[in-house]
Amino acid sequence: MSDPASGDPSSAASTLAQAEAKIAACDDLAALKAVEREYLGKQGVVAALLASIGDQPPDQRRGVGQRANALKQGVQQALETRQGALAEARVASQRRGEGFDATLPPPRPERGSLHPLTQVSRELEDLFQSMGYHVLDGPEVETDYNNFEALNISADHPARDSHDTFFCEGSGHLVMRTHTSPVQIRALAQLEPPLRVVAAGKCFRQESTDASHDHTFHQMEGLVIDREISVAHLIGAMKTLLRGIFHRDLEVRLRPGYFPFVEPGFELDARCPFCEAGCRVCKRTRWIELLPCGLVHPNVLRAAGLDPDEWGGFAFGLGLSRLVMLRHNIDDLRHLLGGDLRFLEQF
Ligand code: DAH
């Protein structure tokens, strides 16, 4: 090859001519890439030329720089022209029907599937509908009143600290709902008791994310209002729910839990469905913490205009994201909403 760094402009011109000849001889994109690398790559001819500038006598440097640029542009241009010509030739050959085999099956449209969160929500909605519950939907942007006040969480209530809330700018009273419990308030406003409802959807909290926390997660809320509702009804409904999820009867236990809108409030644990003697999922305790629940607080009933002496009820808040993780053995919550097809294609 001629030495374009020799300072001789005619040698640079012949380097370009050589490159152009190579490019014209390329029959496919892979060959073009190889020539591109040879001339324009990090270790290529142009890079070497530019690197040699420092070794030139000062009065030659400018000239070498200009020749390097001209070579680069010339090679780029020739590459583009050849690429265009190859593409045209390919289309022309396709038009002529070359390489077309009418006996091959047609390309199939890719098939999607329901997101695992949607699958679980729909299964549970079906289950609850079969027990006479209405399926409701609530907005993801809620009023402060529905998200907190009406749920017995007043403005200065310490429970607000545990809901790291996204407030909507400018509105003063709108928040990204921090739980699905405000749907309870909407249900009480819309429907006459006795009533049974479930509502699944997204909730939002200002969390630093890790394997078990995300700023967006899914819950399913349940509310039953009737006369003479007791903890026994709550336990019965929760056992039916668990049977629907895990397809067998699981022992449950209640621990006290504090949520301002229920009294008494509980954390319901279920026997670990994955082991007999302790495993990673139940952290060797044989119990998994599944859902907070309780009997509807009289203040919530009063705020809805119901007489707590006449009406009672129970409510629960199922963590759907956690349930999906349990069901599919998913180790990081962030996969659920990460939008990575390699993850989603598995369902
Ligand atoms: N909304 C609560 C939360 O996200 C969970 C909850 C607890 C819902 C008890 C309920 C309930 O309906 O009765 O922290």
pLDDT above 70 for 11? yes
Which residues, judged by CB distance below 6 Å to any ligand atom, belong to the binding site of ligand 1? 179, 181, 221, 259, 262, 265, 292-294, 315-317
Comparing 64 with 183, the larger pLDDT belongs to 183
Among candidates 200, 181, 182, which has minimal Cα distance to 129? 200
- Please state the rounded mean pLDDT for residues 271-280: 88
Give the largest Cα separation in the chain, rounded: 103
Could you give the CA distance from residue 73 to residue 65 in angstroms, rounded to a whole number?
A: 12
pLDDT above 90 for 84? yes
User: How close is the Cα of 71 to the center of ligand 1, in Å?
Assistant: 69
- Return the best residue to mutate from 259, 262, 290, 301 for the ligand 1 pocket (most ligand atoms within 8 A of CB): 259
- Please state the rounded mean pLDDT for residues 261-275: 94
pLDDT of residue 8: 66
pLDDT of residue 158: 87
Among candidates 249, 296, 292, which has minimal Cα distance to 269? 292
pLDDT above 80 for 12? no
Tens-place pLDDT, residues 285-299? 999 998 999 999 999
User: How close is the Cα of 301 to the center of ligand 1, in Å?
Assistant: 16
Tens-place pLDDT, residues 140-169? 999 999 999 999 998 888 888 888 999 998
Report in angstroms the alpha-carbon separations of 32 from 16, 25, 38, 177, 273: 15, 9, 10, 55, 59
User: How close is the Cα of 331 to the center of ligand 1, in Å?
Assistant: 24
What percent of the chain stands above pLDDT 70?
Answer: 97
User: How close is the Cα of 168 to the center of ligand 1, in Å?
Assistant: 22
Residue nearest to atom 6 of ligand 1 (CA): 317
Could you give the CA distance from residue 295 to residue 211 in angstroms, rounded to a whole number?
A: 32
3-state secondary structure of 17: helix
pLDDT of residue 70: 93
Tens-place pLDDT, residues 186-212? 999 999 999 999 999 999 999 889 888
What percent of the chain stands above pLDDT 90?
Answer: 73
Tens-place pLDDT, residues 300-344? 999 999 999 999 999 999 999 989 998 898 989 999 999 999 999
3-state secondary structure of 299: helix
Atom of ligand 1 nearest to the CA of 179: 4
pLDDT above 60 for 3? no
User: How close is the Cα of 14 to the center of ligand 1, in Å?
Assistant: 78
> Worst-scoring range by mean pLDDT, 7-16, 18-27, 115-124?
7-16
Confidence of residue 5 (pLDDT cuts 50, 70, 90): low
Which residues in 130-158 are b (16+ Cβ under 10 Å) and which e? eeebbbbebeeebbbebbbbbbbbeeeee
Residue nearest to atom 12 of ligand 1 (CA): 316
3-state secondary structure of 28: coil
Tens-place pLDDT, residues 202-247? 999 998 898 888 999 999 999 999 999 999 999 999 999 989 888 8
